[in-house]
Structure 1
Amino acid sequence: MGISPINVMLAIVVSSLVVATFMILNGRAGSKYGIPFAMHLRSAYGNLGAKLPGFLRGCVAAIAWFGLQTYTGSLALLVIMGKIWPGFLDIGGSFDFFGISAPGLIAFTLFWILNVLIGFGGGDILNKFTGILGPVIYVVIIAMTIWAIRVAGGMSPILSYDVSAASSNNPPILVYLMIINSVLGVWAAPGSSVSDFTQKAKSTKDQMLGQTLSFVVSYLVFAFSSVVILIGGSIHFGVQEWNIVNVINKWDNLPAVIIATGVFLMTTISTNTTGNIIPAAYQLTALLPKRINYRRGVIIASIVSFIIMPWKLMENADSIFIFLNSIGAVLGPVAGVMITDFFIVHKQHIDLNELYMDTKEKNTKNKYFGVNTAAYIATILGLIISISGQFIASIRVVSDISWLVGFVSAGIIYLLLKSFYTKRIARKAYEEET
């Protein structure tokens, strides 16, 4: 994007503060009332209206992320297989399956099958294993950072790395917004459903403190480390790299390659299972409970994640931004409506007795029954606005900051519509009385 390494680090750290703020705000309903994501959605969209945003988060975003993370993990698996069996990388010769080689397709398929099988079990074992993986990933990243500084000749060459070849016409403030938007895109799905986690918090203060510290500390470490590793590796190997797996692949130390990629593999499986395939399967089950159970949901979501050819999402540095902007466009409006509804429209008040309605009863007077039309319209219009830049060249910048645009536009539209409906209902009531 044409900005200096130190500015990239700063932009990522600023992004962590923005994401933490978003998670805290959207997680307040969960920590205050102990409600999960499904009920949080119902409070904003209605019991029937909650199906659309639930589908966008649980199916569209989760399945897309499942495919992308499976492919990312398969790259690490491909590195291990290539180091152990160099001849494997020559299998198939010039064979190309819609942009992926035969060895790449084999590695992806094997890793995809492994993720699907673990998805069937619900990921309980890997959830426990994540407690071990957490500290290990820090050890690996810090070790790689030290290596990168050494091979680059110190921090000075890294911080003064020439970015003139990637110069951009965009002003620095816009580049910062684009980076913030991309990091928000990474957290758009779990951020929308954060109540599933905050409902178990001891207090709102606890979740505020926990999320702020966890995001800021981890992003301070990884913003520094990731930039240093990529630039240090690029200087050392003489080729500019943007994918950390490519840097590892060029190492000559087999044990180091296996340890580093092995940690990435296990971490990817853990997060992919709990954060993507399980939510997708449950959402598909919720949409068609009579025809789809959890196991069928896993199968359907997995097949779709393969069909979308996720390797296309990481063909180059630009394609991953397009993917993140698309996720942001889909879920930014949902987050905008949820936060606006909870904090401004209902002033942080939720009637739990009405929220947990018996759907078999007549609930025509229940305010959470049916579809919140204003929320629906705001979400759809916010989505249209945030993706408009992909079709109208003159406003391309809108799609570059899609989550932010979708969040703000949907929130404002929702407020205007609710104000209109409120006045309309009041006028109708007055007319009936007179």
Structure 2
Amino acid sequence: MQDLNLGNAKVAPDLLPTKPGERNWGLYSYFALWIGMDIGIPTYYLASSLIVGGMDLKWAMITILLANVIIAFPILANGHAGAKYGIPSTIYWRSAFGFNGASIAAILRGVVAAGWCGIQFWIGGSALNTVLGLLFPAWAAWELGKWVCFGVFLVLNIFILIKGMGAIQKMEHWCAPMLIIWMVVLLVWARTSAGGWGPLLRQQNTFASTTEFLTFFIVGLNANISYWGSMPLTVTDLTKVAKDQKSHMVGQFIGIPSGIVGLALVGSLVTSCTVVMFGEAIWDPVQLTGMIENVPLVIGMMAFLIIATLTTNIAANALTPAIAIVHLTGGKINFKWAAIVLGIVGVLLRPWVLINDMGVYMNFFLNGGGALLGPIIGITICHYFFVCRTELNLRSLYVPEDESLYTNLKKFNAPAYIFCFATAVVLGVLAFVLPSTWTQAVCTLGCTHQFSMIGMAVIIALLGVLMYVNRKGGVNPISILTIALSFIVIFLGLWVPALHWLYDASIIVGTVVGMALYYVLMKVGDGSYMEAKKVEHANALKAEAEKAKAPKEA
């Protein structure tokens, strides 16, 4: 660990590297963490959109498993930095985006995370409302009941979040085995009640051709990767307390796919049984509980669902945005108040609207969120492994210095903001001069092509504003150019029918294009910096090898 001499610099305690005594999360801690995050109500009906779209159960499970194995690699890659340096994500982002440029990743990730927080607040509140309605019939008739439960569940999330990583660890350790037991109990109950597994197991793919299947497969795979799309960016908030690299890598690699595939399979099998029991497929577990006559069983099921939603939301969605708020305000808002602000933003995003339509949820929220996050994921991984060779200047991430201010790339600052402004103008003009038959047509996002084009113009213009404000240093212009170019590539898939696969695979395309563009542009822009980091890494490996030999020789 580097000696972090901050001098007179003021840094919020929540942003400082973790101390050796705080790094106490082992393999089981990370396995339990992911079981807790995987098992939640959204995961329960994760397979539903795939099966309703035409897949059989086998291919739905293969798609979900493959997606989670794929997303595990970028999660483990960025997680390496957290375990090595003990830094939170908002500090880690400064290495690739610059001391002031980290706000880009913080804002884009924060918007997606706040949406997820709100959705989980609403789902957990709905589950609580169902339980109270069963216990007290008068509650079920009260129109404001669901809103009160929504508020109670929101406050509970914030309370546990404020208690910090220790409270989260204890909650995950306690909940993980209980959630696994709940899955087994639910499965046995459904199988016994229905007298069989129901018709969904016999359902075949309904696609007319291989091309039609592959088109849907790409969309479904991308949506399932995007389900955890924000985690590669925020995983250092979890791995900064890891005992060692092996603990988080093994624990996460086992935990990431196992819980989510397990619950998706349980959800599909139970839903298949509901066809026999109730004459229709019921994918929503909250709705299902209201149709079961065994009240104790219902209360038990809902209690577990509430716990599952709680564990998922706090660790996966709420922790990093709260830290990001502390970072964006320079520590003026502490972690406690940041958690409260996050709760307010989650409500303002109206989660009851986001999950009202499966098409909006999948194409707008999941794939749209993946489009925003993909390039950021690609840049962070490329910078850490291929540009810096895992050698970060820790002091420069806390004190603005040449390396984190990117003064060596200052000559690219003007071209970067000029490119962003010019691109925004071109997109804005095209949105109004192209034929109205196209601009007013609804695209995959659920809005008109014109609106999507204007929206992208605004986002790229904001990148230009950030670059212009920091034109004297503080933002990595290569990262700005990479983000802007990656966004254009992805959204061409919305605007050019022949290239629709670019948006269908938004998070995959964004990550790959982001990595490739960033590496090439950094090589051209400052190849000497990359060579210096290569030498630094070689020296670090040599020093570690000599240190390992020292005790034996002594």
Identify whether the pair has TM-score above 0.5, normalized to the shorter chain: yes
Q: One-letter code of the match for 1:421?
A: G
Alignment of 1:13-412 (within 5 A): 13-57=65-109, 59-92=110-143, 102-122=144-164, 124-125=166-167, 127-155=169-197, 157-161=199-203, 164=206, 171-289=212-330, 291-321=332-362, 322-346=364-388, 348-352=389-393, 355-356=396-397, 358-359=399-400, 370-390=474-494, 395-412=499-516
* CA displacement, residues 100-144 of structure 1 (integer Å, 9 cap, x when unaligned): xx4433332332233334444447545413211111111111111
Residue from 56, 61, 64 that aligns with 1:12: 64
Percent identity, aligned pairs only? 26
177-186 vs 379-388, greater mean Cα deviation? 379-388
- Structure 2 distance, partners of 1:363, 1:18, is 31
Q: One-letter code of the match for 1:64?
A: G
Q: Is the 8 A contact 2:198 2:272 kept in 1?
A: no
Q: Is the 8 A contact 1:152 1:158 kept in 2?
A: no
Deviation at 1:198, TM superposition (A): 2.8
Deviation at 1:264, TM superposition (A): 1.6
Q: 1:388 to 1:65 in 2, by over 3 A?
A: farther
- Structure 2 distance, partners of 1:364, 1:402, is 30
- Structure 1 distance, partners of 2:290, 2:197, is 23
* CA displacement, residues 231-254 of structure 1 (integer Å, 9 cap, x when unaligned): 222442222233222222211111
Deviation at 1:356, TM superposition (A): 4.4
Q: Is the 8 A contact 1:386 1:399 kept in 2?
A: yes
Q: 1:302 to 1:394 in 2, by over 3 A?
A: farther
Q: 3-state DSSP class of the match of 2:288?
A: helix
Residue from 523, 540, 545 that aligns with 1:419: 523
Deviation at 1:395, TM superposition (A): 4.7
Q: Is the 8 A contact 1:192 1:335 kept in 2?
A: yes
Runs of at least 5 residues in structure 2 that lack an aligned partner in the other structure: 1-52, 410-472, 531-554
Q: One-letter code of the match for 1:71?
A: W
- Structure 2 distance, partners of 1:54, 1:155, is 45
* CA displacement, residues 190-236 of structure 1 (integer Å, 9 cap, x when unaligned): 22121233344344344332222222432442232122122222442
* CA displacement, residues 318-341 of structure 1 (integer Å, 9 cap, x when unaligned): 232131112212211110111122
Deviation at 1:156, TM superposition (A): 6.6
Q: Does 1:3 align with 2:44?
A: no
Q: Is the 8 A contact 2:230 2:373 kept in 1?
A: yes
Q: 1:419 to 1:114 in 2, by over 3 A?
A: same
- Structure 2 distance, partners of 1:422, 1:327, is 31
Q: 3-state DSSP class of the match of 2:339?
A: helix
- Structure 2 distance, partners of 1:6, 1:416, is 40
- Structure 1 distance, partners of 2:127, 2:222, is 27
127-136 vs 230-239, greater mean Cα deviation? 230-239
Q: Is the 8 A contact 1:389 1:395 kept in 2?
A: yes
Q: How large is the RMSD of aligned CA atoms in angstroms?
A: 3.2
Q: Is the 8 A contact 2:161 2:318 kept in 1?
A: yes
Q: 1:171 to 1:226 in 2, by over 3 A?
A: same
Q: One-letter code of the match for 1:144?
A: L
**2:464 — aligned with what?**
none
- Structure 2 distance, partners of 1:417, 1:328, is 23
Q: 1:170 to 1:262 in 2, by over 3 A?
A: farther
Q: Is the 8 A contact 1:336 1:408 kept in 2?
A: yes
**What number of residue pairs does the alignment pair up?**
414
153-162 vs 306-315, greater mean Cα deviation? 153-162
* CA displacement, residues 36-62 of structure 1 (integer Å, 9 cap, x when unaligned): 4234312211222112112222x2122
- Structure 2 distance, partners of 1:36, 1:290, is 14
- Structure 1 distance, partners of 2:162, 2:365, is 27
Q: One-letter code of the match for 2:481?
A: I
Q: One-letter code of the match for 2:178?
A: V
Q: Is the 8 A contact 1:2 1:168 kept in 2?
A: no
**1:429 — aligned with what?**
none
349-358 vs 243-252, greater mean Cα deviation? 349-358
Q: Is the 8 A contact 1:123 1:273 kept in 2?
A: no
Higher relative contact order (CA 8 A, sep 6+): 1
Q: 3-state DSSP class of the match of 1:188?
A: coil
* CA displacement, residues 389-425 of structure 1 (integer Å, 9 cap, x when unaligned): 4566665543332211221222222223223324799
Q: 1:210 to 1:366 in 2, by over 3 A?
A: farther
Runs of at least 5 residues in structure 1 that lack an aligned partner in the other structure: 93-101, 427-434
